[in-house]
Amino acid sequence: MDKNALKATAKAMVSAGKGILAADESSSTSEKRFASVGVPCTEENRRQYRDLFLAAPNVEKYISGVILHEETIKQNANDGTAFPVLLQKKGIIPGIKVDKGTKDLGLHPGEKITEGLDGLRERLQEFYKLGARFAKWRAVITIGKGMPTMACIHANAHALARYAALCQEAGLVPMVEPEVLIDGDHTLEQSYKATLATLKKTFEEMADQDVYLPGAILKASMVIAGKSAKKQTSPKDVAKWTVKCLKAAVPKDLAGVVFLSGGQGDEQSTANLNEMNKLGKTPWPLSFSYARALQNPALKIWAKDLAKNVSPARDAFLFRAKMNGLAAVGKYADSMEKGRPYSL
Ligand code: 13P
């Protein structure tokens, strides 16, 4: 394992004022996102859609890395450059989603296990050759009656640790993502308990597998009440409980923490991250790795006219990227939304 290279990559992924664009939607997720705005989910439309973000002028001002889908890492941008090369030229680190999605966990109805360890060593070597320098694996933890079970937390944490070890062996920084879902009507306290147990187990398993933490990134979900809970969580409480949870479970020598948006609103995701960074110094940089919260306004604009709306869609994306870049250093204010270049 080349610890110095891993550490340098991980550090660059969370450099001040920048974050990660998650552009690794699976074909079924892309299908749903495109259907929601009436765009046919063809391979060419997916390529054009990815070009919109990855080839946006000055995207490197706010984005340090991009998580690519296996399809995209092998495609070319509109100017003929391979997408990972285009990113490298801009100083953006190409990443790759390497899990194979979730299946029902045996004997535990309602819970999921992420698959993809078989053949992973060889796939990682291939992605490294294509230019990837980090890799993401998403585990899913559901809150509900009697859930999450320790069986689900343990199985997923173990898989995350094994994937992380293989990544580091192959020269890729693992972006370890145990997502506690926001779906449901659970309370803030339930979210805190589930997230704490998940993170503790994940880092225990990573220690058992000798994962090198200064060369690893955690992609976390925020501690927040369920989407349909009666009492929603204010940004101040999201910040307080998320940071408390991280401090209780995440070793100090980890390179950084980035958050997923998980179905939160675009501005809500920005405001919550900003409040965390306003709380003061944490052992790790806290930044973003959003898909929907960065892409949604752009997708809606682009969908109205795929050929003519590339430029306004890019403006919308770059605006959200800029706001989140400010939130990553606690310098965002919701009054800044007045200056945004789009209306939906
Ligand atoms: P969202 O920000 O849309 O939750 O996506 C992030 C991600 O990469 C989920 O795996």
Predicted pLDDT of residue 96: 99
% of the chain surpassing 90 pLDDT:
99
Q: Is the CB of 250 under 6 A from ligand 1?
A: no
Single pTM value for the model: 0.98
Looking at residue 273, what is its pLDDT? 98
Q: Ligand 1: does its nearest atom lie under 6 Å from the Cβ of 261?
A: yes
Q: Is the CB of 273 under 6 A from ligand 1?
A: no
Query: CA-CA distance, 204 to 207, in Å (whole number)?
Result: 5
Indicate whether residue 181 lines ligand 1 (CB < 6 A).
Answer: no
Q: Which residues contact 115 (CB under 8 A, 6 or more apart)?
A: 99, 100, 101, 102, 103
Q: What is the pLDDT of residues 229-256, one digit of tens each?
A: 999 999 999 999 999 999 999 999 999 9
- Of all protein residues, the one whose alpha carbon is nearest to atom 8 of ligand 1 is 22
Whether residue 293 has its Cβ less than 6 Å from ligand 1 = yes
> Quick one: 80 exposed, middle or buried, by C-beta within 10 A (0-12, 13-18, 19+)?
exposed
Query: Distance from the CA of 289 to the center of ligand 1, in angstroms?
Result: 7
3-state SS record for 165-191: HHHHHCCCEEEEEEEECCCCCCCHHHH
**CA 290 to ligand 1: nearest atom:** 2
Residue 344 has pLDDT above 90, yes or no: no
Residues of the chain with pLDDT > 70, as a percent, come to: 100
Gap from CA of 133 to ligand 1 centroid (Å):
19
Residue in the block written with tokens 């285009």: 86
Query: Which pLDDT tens digit goes with each residue over 265-319?
Result: 999 999 999 999 999 999 999 999 999 999 999 999 999 999 999 999 999 999 9
Cβ–ligand 1 distance for 320 under 6 Å, the answer: no
Among 177, 179, 205, 275, the one annotated catalytic: 177
Report whether residue 98 contacts ligand 1, using a CB cutoff of 6 Å.
no
Q: Express each pLDDT in 82-133 by its tens digit.
A: 999 999 999 999 999 999 999 999 999 999 999 999 999 999 999 999 999 9
- Name the nearest CA neighbour of 59 among 318, 323, 311, 291: 318
Using the mean position of ligand 1's atoms as its centre, give its distance from the Cα of residue 187 in Å.
Answer: 21
pLDDT at 120: 98
Q: What is the mean pLDDT of the chain?
A: 98
Distance CA 295, CA 141 (A): 24
For the question of residue 25 being annotated catalytic, the response is: no
Q: Cβ(292) to ligand 1 under 6 A? A: yes
Compute the distance from residue 155 Cα to the ligand 1 centre, in Å: 21
Mutate to test the pocket of ligand 1, among 32, 100, 163, 289 (most ligand atoms within 8 A of CB): 289
Q: Determine whether 219 is an active site residue.
A: yes
pLDDT (tens digit, 9 = 90+) per residue, 132-176?
999 999 999 999 999 999 999 999 999 999 999 999 999 999 999
Q: How far is the CA of 146 from the centre of ligand 1 (A)?
A: 25
Q: List, for residues 45-62, the tens digit of each pLDDT value.
A: 999 999 999 999 999 999
The pLDDT of residue 243: 98
Mean pLDDT calculated for residue range 253-262: 98
CA distance 197 to 202: 9
